[in-house]
């Protein structure tokens, strides 16, 4: 599974309150949430992300609350994948569960500039920086997590499993 897009760079400890501020949490509409993605750091983010982007961030991306609205807002704003030095664990799980690919790649921040074109090969745990012509290794996701992402999220995965199309949760 492969995704491509231009890189948008963020720093360390980007928290869920800035990814999607609390006041929008009363909405259950992903497209509405997407309009406010990253509003706490960069209100222009949704217009920049529209064409399909890859977020490259520092340590502890997505720290803070358990709000799943955070990865949802990112996914629907056009984020194809988040690559970070490390993730906060609930964000990480949430992203996988809603089918937003996330990849840990220690050292990635130093190897990508804003606007670089990246291709992420998830099943190989590899990031290709097309603009710089380099290949960066990432921590490959375990198979059952890849399956969840490829099925489009945990629920789709669960439904398939329950129907017997897969035998293991």
Partner 1 sequence: MKPMAGMTISEKILAAASGKDYVRPGEIVDARVDMAMVNEITGPLAIQTFKRIGLKNVWDNQRIVLVLDHQVPADSVKSAELHKIMREFAKEQNIPFLYDVGDGGICHQIMVERGHVRPGELIVGADSHTCTYGALGAFATGIGSTEMAAVFATGKLWLKVPSTIRINVTGRFSDFVTPKDLILDVIGRVGADGAIYKAVEFTGPTISEMDISGRLTLCNMTVEMGAKTGIIEPDEKVIQYVRERTNRPFKIFRSDEDANYERTLEFNVDNLEPMVACPHSVDNVKPVKEVEGVEINQAFLGSCTNGRLEDLELAARILRGRRVKKGVRMLVTPASSEVYLKALEMGILEVFVRAGACICNPTCGACFGGHMGLLAAGEICISSSNRNFVGRMGSPEAQIYLASPATVAASAVEGKITDPRRFLGGA
**Residues at the site binding partner 1, with contacts judged by CB under 8 A:** 12-13, 15, 17-18, 21-23, 25-28, 40-41, 59-60, 63-69, 86-90, 93-94, 97-98, 142, 144, 153-155, 158-159, 162, 169
User: Ramachandran region of residue 13, left (φ > 0), alpha (ψ -120 to 50) or beta?
Assistant: left
C-beta contacts of 45-51 below 8 A and 24+ residues apart: 45/8, 45/77, 46/77, 46/78, 48/8, 49/8, 49/74, 49/77, 49/78, 49/79, 50/77, 50/78, 51/5, 51/6, 51/78
Q: Tell me the closest approach of the beta carbon of residue 113 to partner 1, in angstroms.
A: 24
Q: Tell me the closest approach of the beta carbon of residue 42 to partner 1, in angstroms.
A: 11
> With respect to partner 1, which residue has the nearer C-beta, 17 or 121?
17
Q: Tell me the closest approach of the beta carbon of residue 24 to partner 1, in angstroms.
A: 10
> With respect to partner 1, which residue has the nearer C-beta, 47 or 66?
66
């Amino acid at each position: 599974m492969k995704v491509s897009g231009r890189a948008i760079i963020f720093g360390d400890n980007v928290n869920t309150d800035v990814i999607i501020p609390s006041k929008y949490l009363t909405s259950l509409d992903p497209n509405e949430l997407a309009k406010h993605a990253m509003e706490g750091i960069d209100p222009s983010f949704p217009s920049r992300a529209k064409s399909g982007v890859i977020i490259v961030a520092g340590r502890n991306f997505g720290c803070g609350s358990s709000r799943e609205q955070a990865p949802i807002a990112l996914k629907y704003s056009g984020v194809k994948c988040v690559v970070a030095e490390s993730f906060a664990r609930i964000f990480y799980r949430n992203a996988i569960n809603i089918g937003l690919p996330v990849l840990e790649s220690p050292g990635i921040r130093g190897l990508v500039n804003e606007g670089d074109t990246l291709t992420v090969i998830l099943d190989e745990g590899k990031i290709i920086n097309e603009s710089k012509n380099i290949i960066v290794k990432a921590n490959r996701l375990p198979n059952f997590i890849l399956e969840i992402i490829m099925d489009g999220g945990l629920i789709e995965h669960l439904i398939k499993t329950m129907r017997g199309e897969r035998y293991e949760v």
